[in-house]
Structure formats: C-alpha cells, structure tokens
Structure 1
C-alpha cells in the first residue's frame, strides 16, 4: 500500500472526529438559538457544520436530543468548575444573597467568557420552551452535586416561605435568569455589529443602545432575585 492510499493514523482520525463533533455542536447551538429547536433539522445542522454527509449528526451524536444533551454538558463543565469554589466560600451562610450569587455568577461568568457573538444563553431559552427538553435540562442539572448544594442552601435560607409560594418564586427566578441572560446575549451580539458610532441596526431601524456587560447583569440579577425571595407574602 502506497503512502497516498494509506488510511489515516488512529491519532489523526481521533482528532478529525473531535473537530467534526465540535463543528456540529457549534452549528447546532447557533441554529437552535436563532430559529428554535423544532425548526432546525439534523440535515441543516450538518450542512451548517460543513458536512456533506446528511447523516453526520446521527453518526456522531444519535438523535437531536442526544446532540442537545452534548451541548449542555459541554458548557456545564465550565459552569460547574466556577460554582464549586464559590460554594466553598459561602458554606454555612444564612444570607440568602450568598446563595443567589452562587446560582447566578457561574453562568454569567461563563457567558462572558464565551465572548461575542455567542449563542448558548439563547439556546437555553429556546430549549426551555419545549416541555420534554426542559425536563432534560432539569435532569442533567440536578445531577450536578454543586447545583444540588446550591439549591439546598437557598432553600434553607428561604425555609420560612410556604412550599407553594416557594415553588412559584423558584419558577419566577428561573424565568428571570434564563430570559434575561438570553436578552443580554442578544444585545451584546447586536452591539458587536455596530456602524462604528455605537449604534446597531435592527428591522431597518438604527438604534442607540448601551448593551451593558455580563458583570452588570449579574449584579442586577442578584439584586432582583434577592428582592424576589425576600418580598413580603400577602397570601
């Protein structure tokens, strides 16, 4: 067998496979964020990732749900690594703000590290609109030891709140966190594509806007969620 027809070395094949998987995940994350999960086919993801084979997504990941889980787990590694030392610094605290900071900052710091443009915050918001996929996110999230500790610490400081009201406020907090991060990511993406005068263009209209930073959003979210959890109960 001549060198020209020799199969690639195992190491080269592994590297190529990893690069293909990464390209597919990046393309899927962007398309799902921009169009919604149900509106995007595996074939479209493969094409956006530069794959000529229509079955590339199925070959490397299996189902669309498997692909979504892979994207979530990829980002979860960094978020988990950020949360763990934060929890160590507040362990035993009776201040609800400490536990809320541990809930908010690992995600906003991760989003900030992604730079602009990025799509993961908007990807999360899209996935959360699908009941089955939302259950998938919960399942994966609750397998995180650090998140479990975070939620237990938060609950301990809010234990005086009746269970039904506590569940409602937890739903409100989740909506605020997911969708405000999605909005900030979108604004930063738009702001990165300005006309050179600090203005971005949307729907044919020139808009002056200060997109703000992830750090500012994190501070605002901690303030808002602290207020939500400590608000008076009138029912």
Structure 2
C-alpha cells in the first residue's frame, strides 16, 4: 500500500500537517546534521524545501542541495534549486551526488525498490543514502481513533529493503513524545494532515482527551 499523493490537489493538507507536527523540524535538523560540508545532496520528495531551510539554519554547508518532487505546487514554494521528476527515474548522471535524502517520501511508492536502485545509481562511490520513515505504532495515543496506514516503506520493513540495495546499513530508531495537541481543533488538524476526511476528523477529535502529547515512532536509516 502507498500513501496517496494529493500535494497538487490539496496542498493545504501538507501545510496543515507541518503546522500540526512541531516535531517535524527536529527530524529535518537531524538530517541536515548528517550532511557533509562541501558535498552535493539530492533531496528526493523535497516538497516545499523544509530540508533546505533546515540546512540554511544549521552549521553544515553542502556545496549543492537539489530538491526533487513530482508536485509542481510544492516546488513553487521551494527556495531552489529544484527539479520536477519521479524518484524512480532520477534525471541525473551516475555518481552525481554525495548524499541522497528520502524523508517520509518512499511511503508514497507502491514498490520502493526501483527508487532505492536509482538512489544508489546517482550516488558517488562511498556516498550516503539517508531515509526517514514512520513505524506501524506511530502516534499510539491516538490508536482508538487513528492508526498509520501500512506502506511498503514503513520503519519495520524499510531496513530490509535498503539492505537489499546497499552494502552497509545503520538503523537509528526514534520513539519520543514530540507533538503537543492542546485542544480538539489541534487534534482535528493532526488527523486531517494524516488523510482522515475532515468530517470524520472533527468527530474523532471529540473522543480524544486533551491536552495530549503524541509519541512519534519511526527510524532514520543510513546506508552506504
């Protein structure tokens, strides 16, 4: 199963999700901290450039950071440079990048293996692949009303897929209270951002005791 892409049809859902998930910038700051100074980086599924902004706010300075996304709407807000293309057919030469990042993007693919092979193809010798993805047990406090949809690149399955393509793989799980939802409207926004229909989210939010701190579970995967 793949998470549907609605970034062109409903970009406000993505933006609502970023606002409703205060822990998201911390993830991108962690990714930015792994990037080498002076390297060339490809951000696959870059959306509106949250990684680019995290890099600009951090201490590591890649020589080049290129965003790539299928959504023209998302790319219009990206600070650039950015390219509209698909993760399964990267428009770059072999060995063009020192790092390829895929942060919560391969969950949109029915089969992530072609995208993993493309990521390896465009990496230089010794290059780094960085992926982030959520676990089946993400947001356990909301389990009575919502559970993450299963995808082909969940934190439980992604490491095995990456190991089939890359030689050295390190998995860093995360499991921490990261998102504070103070009231029912915040719960509603959080659920809508996770593809729950608005009317259903409005009803579900009434069943959640607030204020609530949500535990985020997933993994950061580093491969060479």
Report TM bin, short chain. under 0.3
**Structure whose residues are more often helix by fraction:** 1
Choose 1 or 2 for highest CA Rg.
1
**Structure whose residues are more often strand by fraction:** 2
